[in-house]
Structure 1
Amino acid sequence: MVSASIARNVICMIVVRVWNPTFYKIIKKKAVEEFKPDPYIVTALNCALWVFYRMPFVRPNSLLGAPSNGIGLVLEFVYLAIFFAYASKEGRKKVALYLTIEVIFFTAVVLVTMLALHGTTQRSLIVGVLGNILNVMMSVSPLTIMAKVIKTKSVKYMPFWLSLANFLNGLCWTTYALIHPFDIYILISNSIGAVSGLVQLILYACYCYRGENNDDNSHYIPRDVET
């Protein structure tokens, strides 16, 4: 079980690290241009929720899955700090406002879970459902990119390695959810993510021979690592 958890965490970190080229470009140009902070803000909240979900007082016997989300949360704040440093005044206000709302929401979830809900069954239900809502939203977010691939017959904005990492990530966590102890909350969103990643790989196989792909993944918004 420990070795399986390490493998899942490694794949999750691959999914997170492939976002980095976007921020290399921001630092190099010293401007955020048309890049949006929204997916990183949502991902930070998602990681925070799943770290909380993994705590023994919410979901017993699932602490091994916390490292990937904890590291992901730290990296998201690093990305947002870079974005904040090079954004315009209006962009900084937007990031600050959204993060404030996010902190208030997360604090409210923690307080309600710990003070109003009694027992791990109720707590894991509420936190798991909230995490699944965010995960499903991220799982289907590549649909617009896939539609663009079909329309343009080019995989320019859908990098192969990111699609592969997303597929393996969803597959690993789906397998984990099916192994004792069975976890329906992790199963739902990650099985959708695995299917989404598989469809992306199929599209890539169909259109990559046209030779129009490049390393520009700045317009591609991947799903979150795990749950």
Structure 2
Amino acid sequence: MVSPNQVRNALGIIGNVISFGLFLSPSPTFYRIIKNKSVEEFKPWPYVVTVLNCLFWMLYGLPVTHPNNILVTTINGIGLGIELIYVAIFLFYSSGTKRQKVLGTLIVEVIIFAVVLVLTLKVFHTTDARTIFVGVFCVIFNCFMYFSPLLAMTQVVKSKSVEYMPFLLTLTGFLNGLCWTSYALIHIDWWMVVPNGLGTLSGIMQLVLYGIYYKRKSNTSNEVELPTKMATEV
């Protein structure tokens, strides 16, 4: 008989695979930046915010914070590396104010994470207390990352076209949220259930919009920047 822990681990592995795909989804954007040797009008902020989000979830999944959640740490560690590559590409091909703003934001993020890390290890002495403290930051920054999907949904409604919301990316984002929600429900972890539940709901809303506006899709195909999905809504 399959135990709940085995099911949970299986869901975590599947979630890692899906999340890895989502982390790679913006790669065409950065290929274009490299090819054109210009950041053009692309915005770096979704990727910059994801860096801090990954750092918090890496800390959350460590045994010193929340035991038996190492799969959360592994995928966010991988995601952190990928996001840093994206940001490095943006910095390399940007200049002036754009570069300064990104560098300044990264410095602030490092300071914020360092403070949270020190407080977690020095002030809170039980895993339960550390889980709550770090979990609050994880949920807050996950919520910030919902702005991209919401903006995409707004564009769909205004334009009555789904060209701004690619179906495969939308479906994968929904499955990612559903997978991690199921993972978190096996051993109830509200700090994971809340953001992933919101991610699942967001995915459902986007799929419904896609179904409504798909037939109205414009015959003209313009290249647009893909919205960054929350790769690990955990």
TM-score clears 0.5: yes
Q: Which of 113, 122, 126 does residue 120 from structure 2 map onto? A: 113
1:75-113, Cα deviation, whole Å (9 max, x unpaired) = 000000100110022222111111111101100000011
Structure-2 residue corresponding to 1:42:
49
| Compared CA separation, residues 187 and 216, structure 1 to 2 (3 A) | farther
Query: For the aligned residues, what is the CA RMSD?
Result: 1.5
Structure-2 residue corresponding to 1:210:
216
Q: Identity of counterpart residues, as a percentage? A: 46
Structure-2 residue corresponding to 1:195:
201
Structure-1 residue corresponding to 2:166:
159
In structure 2, distance between residues paired with 1:80 and 1:148: 25
8 Å Cα contact 2:51/2:83 also seen in 1 = yes
In structure 2, distance between residues paired with 1:218 and 1:15: 15
Shift of 1:140: 4.5
Q: Which of 13, 16, 21 does residue 23 from structure 2 map onto? A: 16
Report SS of the residue matched to 1:155.
coil
Structure-2 residue corresponding to 1:77:
84
TM-score by length of 1: 0.94
8 Å Cα contact 2:11/2:182 also seen in 1 = no
**Which amino acid in structure 2 is aligned with residue 212 of structure 1?**
S
8 Å Cα contact 1:136/1:193 also seen in 2 = no
8 Å Cα contact 2:161/2:214 also seen in 1 = yes
Please list every run of 5 or more consecutive structure 2 residues that lacks an aligned counterpart in the other structure: 1-5
What count of residue pairs does the alignment treat as equivalent? 226
Please list every run of 5 or more consecutive structure 1 residues that lacks an aligned counterpart in the other structure: none
Q: Which of 67, 72, 75 does residue 68 from structure 1 map onto? A: 75
Structure 1 segments of 4+ aligned residues over 6 angstroms from their partners:
none
TM-score by length of 2: 0.92
